[in-house]
Amino acid sequence: MKTLFAMDLIGSKAVRLIKGDFTKVTVYSEDPVAKIEEMIDRGARDFHIIDLDGARTGKRVHHEIIKNIRLKVDGYMETGGGIRAEDDIKYYSELGVNGIIVGTQALEDDSFFQRLSIFSNIILGLDLLGGKPMSRGWKTTVDKDVREILEASERIGIMAVLCTSIARDGMLSGPDYEGMEVLLKMTKLPVIASGGVTSIDDVKRLKDMGAWATILGKAVYEGLIKIEEAVKYAD
């Protein structure tokens, strides 16, 4: 399993939100690239970088910072936020980003979703609230069945599915194990677990369940999970 260390970007700063609420922002670094270097020095290898301003506006905003982060990261790196056109996917692919997270546009535009079949590095962002997929920065309910979305993703060759439990994101309340177990049984695609990971026991349990990767965010910034310990569970 990959342990993906998360960084969310707002206003060129590294932040974390609670349940995706832009009014509940904690700033962890004024210099995101330096923060990434610090995490690498402590053993972090693989990263999950989200342009929250991009997610909110529908166009990439922090691509220069993400480019500079990619230059520092030797391992796997995925990014998302405001990626709603093929040109955005090509841009980040050319930077060497391993996984391109597409959510809103893929869920709302079937034609765009089908065209993703030409890419080999697409991660579908499946953000769930009460079992329902959400889009547009977790503000809009998507009227689609999760199983049908997963089946379509398998057909067009999506690389992996990033499943975020919105209700648990940033809450340090533990992952939605029940929901994750259901999702893992629904699809053969690699699943990235996100939302609520609070302790090293959560990391171990998600690995044992068969998650392909897990996102470590607030718990790392708050010191509840030590990078040096988490990477021991990484493949």
Q: Which residues are catalytic?
A: 8, 127
- Tell me the one-letter amino acid at 195: G
Q: Within a 13 Å sphere around the CA of 163, how many CA atoms are in the beta-carbon half?
A: 29
* Residues 6+ positions from 87 with CB-CB distance below 8 Å: none
Dmax over CA atoms of the chain, in Å, equals 44
| C-alpha span between 163 and 27 (Å, rounded) | 24
| C-alpha span between 54 and 119 (Å, rounded) | 21
SS3 content of the chain, % helix, strand, coil (to 5): 40, 30, 30
* Residues 6+ positions from 65 with CB-CB distance below 8 Å: 9, 12, 32, 33
Burial string for 156-167 (b: 16+ CB within 10 Å, else e) reads bebbbbbbbbbe
